A and B are shown apart, each in its own frame.
Chain A
Amino acid sequence: MNNVGLHDAEVVTPAEVHRAARAFAAALAETPQFTAFKQADEALSNDTEAQQALSRLQAKAKSLRALLMLNAVSDAERAELDGLRDAYLTRATVRASAAAEGELTGLCQQAARIMSAATGMDYAATCGASCCG
């Protein structure tokens, strides 16, 4: 990180920092990766069969949650759960959405790495982001 003295640097106002943040977001929104992600996400939202497959998968997983935690699911139930999962994950819109999200994630990770290296603070960790909820 650069050591910039307090007295020999012109202080950037909070409004200018926020403006730069919005400009960064706008530039990210114009990338092919972001556009592709939005399109894939919309296609997935409009795919009623995929949404139904997801609902069936979630309902089955919920009904088996306690048994899954105890690792006590029968082979037949596990096969049914795996089948429902495959039915969802192999749909073209789901695969396209996952691929587009992966591309966008890669781009965001690169941008965050650049910012973290320049500022000396881990951007994602500082902002409290967690994929684990």
Chain B
Amino acid sequence: MNETVAFPPALQEATDRLIHALLGSGSFLAYQGSLAQLESDSQARGLLERLSMLQVALRGKQGAGQINQADIEELRAVQSKVRVHPAIIEYAQSQQGAADVLREVNQEIRQVLGMDFAALARSNTC
């Protein structure tokens, strides 16, 4: 169901408190910090943009059976640089940390409700 239903005030308040707690947690603060760092690092952003462009181009070539060795080597070279860039590594690790906190929260909610809240929240995607 996609329509917007009336959102109960008590639930809104509890949602706001949960968001406040999440954003104030060490993991989310680290995630926000590394995101800001990544956004201000032109070299890191350039690498990620290049990687994304190469992946899109390769998918197109793959469909037409036109991939050559040079394409693969260029992709691998950019991937190697991405994997060792400090700002990108920091961002990826902190994002994982924040994701872990979200999963813990969902587990906590599941224990109270006896149902998977995230699954309910996503059940319109199929």
A residues contacting B by CB (< 8 A) are 1-6, 9-14, 16-34, 102-112, 114-115, 118-121, 123-132
CB distance from B44 to the nearest CB of A (A): 17
B64: Cβ under 8 A from any A Cβ = no
What B residues does A11 contact at CB under 8 A?
A: 24-26, 29
Query: B19, B108, B121: which contacts A129 (Cβ < 8 A)?
Result: B121
CB distance from A127 to the nearest CB of B (A): 4
What A residues does B118 contact at CB under 8 A?
A: 112, 123-124, 127-129
Query: A14, A102, A131: which contacts B126 (Cβ < 8 A)?
Result: A131
Query: What 0/1 readout, one digit per residue, does chain B (1-26) give for beta carbons within 8 Å of chain A?
Result: 11111011011011101111111111
What A residues does B121 contact at CB under 8 A?
A: 105, 108-109, 111-112, 123-124, 129
In Å, the complex CA distance between A12 and B5 comes to: 31
Q: Which of B48-56, B67-75, B109-117 contacts A (4 or more CB under 8 A)?
A: B109-117
B122: Cβ under 8 A from any A Cβ = yes
In Å, the complex CA distance between A117 and B113 comes to: 23
Excluding A16-B21, A22-B112, A128-B103, 13 further A-B contacts by CB distance (< 8 Å) are A1-B35, A3-B32, A3-B36, A29-B113, A32-B8, A105-B1, A115-B15, A119-B23, A124-B122, A127-B103, A129-B106, A131-B125, A132-B126
**Contacts A9-B29, A106-B3, A109-B124 known; A129 to B22 CB distance under 8 Å?**
no
Size range of the chain B interface in the assembly: 35 or more
- Decide if A108 touches B117 in the complex (CB within 8 Å): yes
Query: B11, B101, B103, B119: which contacts A131 (Cβ < 8 A)?
Result: B119
Residue pairs across A and B with Cβ atoms less than 8 A apart, 11 shown, are: A5-B33, A11-B25, A13-B25, A27-B14, A106-B3, A111-B11, A121-B98, A124-B119, A126-B102, A128-B103, A128-B118
- Decide if A114 touches B17 in the complex (CB within 8 Å): no
